[in-house]
């Protein structure tokens, strides 16, 4: 049964070593993520699943102990998913979104429950995402989710996807749905529009919607902004 969820953005820039001189610009987002993880700890889960967007090669489950790194961003920094479990083979590294999630957990000193990861293919349909979430929500024991993903990347002229007038309304709808734990609204997100706006969080958010279908959780919006023209949202469901 799903007892709590935290929604966080997944840009590698959340990691100060990656952001370097720009690190202070995301301090508010980091603070909100820490508060969101506190909600997960307070829920006393038996199991934590970190869900995040992944490319074709990064899909599927990741057991506790799987390692990730930020070498591709010019930083000699490695992370590990959870504190238990044996190290996974080196050829099965965490995708960037789950590496950021692992970093957030390490930063918070997470020890409340075993951790596993789930990389979700960004093209996955809403129906398939919902089914994956339902499997998580139907599992025995108290389950919590850490859901990683960004909103649109088209909020300004300098954004990675350039300016798109549809981006701000899309992000506002996402923030509203995540902040109110609106399962139906998340299910209804337009996958094509999300793709066109480069919103990597669409599939993970719809996994959350499936997991929370019968959980009766209440949402709270902790942070919503668009630094660098990319929409970042932090929310909790409990």
**67-69/115-121 β-pairing:** unpaired
Residues 145, 49 contacting (CB under 8 angstroms): yes
- Residue-level pLDDT at 20: 87
Asked whether the beta carbons of 136 and 148 are under 8 A apart, the reply is no
Q: Decide if 97 contacts 148 (C-beta within 8 A).
A: yes
Pairing of strands 67-69, 78-80: antiparallel
| Those residues with Cβ within 8 angstroms of residue 145's Cβ, 6 or more apart along the chain or in another chain | 2, 4, 5, 6, 48, 49, 50, 51, 136, 207, 208, 211
The pLDDT assigned to 196 comes to: 97
The pLDDT score that the predictor gives to residue 57 is 65
Q: What is the mean pLDDT of residues 215-225?
A: 97
Domains of the chain: 2-237 (3.40.830.10)
How does pLDDT run across 76-92, given as a tens digit for each residue?
999 999 976 655 555 67
Beta-bridged to residue 4, according to DSSP, are: 144
pTM, full prediction:
0.95
Tell me: the pLDDT tens digits for 141-159? 999 999 999 999 999 999 9
Phi and psi angles of residue 207, each rounded to the nearest 5 degrees, phi first: -65, -45
In this model, does residue 177 exceed pLDDT 80?
Answer: yes
């Amino acid at each position: 049964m799903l007892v709590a969820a935290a929604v966080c953005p997944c840009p590698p820039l959340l990691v100060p070593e990656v952001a370097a001189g720009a690190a202070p610009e995301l301090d508010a987002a980091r603070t909100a993520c820490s508060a969101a993880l506190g909600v997960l700890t307070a829920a006393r889960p038996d199991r934590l699943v970190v869900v995040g967007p992944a490319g074709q090669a990064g899909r599927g489950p990741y057991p506790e102990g799987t390692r990730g790194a930020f070498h591709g961003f010019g930083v000699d920094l490695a992370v590990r998913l959870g504190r238990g479990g044996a190290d996974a083979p080196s050829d099965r590294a965490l995708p960037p979104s789950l590496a950021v999630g692992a970093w957030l957990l390490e930063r918070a000193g997470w020890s409340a429950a075993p951790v596993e990861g789930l990389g979700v293919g960004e093209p996955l349909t809403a129906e398939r995402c919902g089914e994956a979430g339902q499997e998580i929500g139907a599992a025995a024991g108290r389950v919590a989710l850490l859901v990683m993903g960004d909103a649109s990347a088209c909020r300004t002229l300098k954004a990675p996807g350039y300016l798109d007038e549809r981006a701000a309304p899309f992000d506002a709808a996402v923030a509203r749905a995540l902040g109110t734990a609106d399962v139906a609204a998340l299910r209804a997100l337009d996958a094509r529009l999300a793709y066109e706006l480069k919103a990597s969080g669409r599939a993970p958010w719809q996994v959350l919607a499936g997991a929370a279908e019968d959980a009766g959780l209440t949402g709270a919006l902790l942070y919503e902004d668009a630094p660098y023209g990319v929409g970042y949202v932090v929310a909790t469901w409990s």
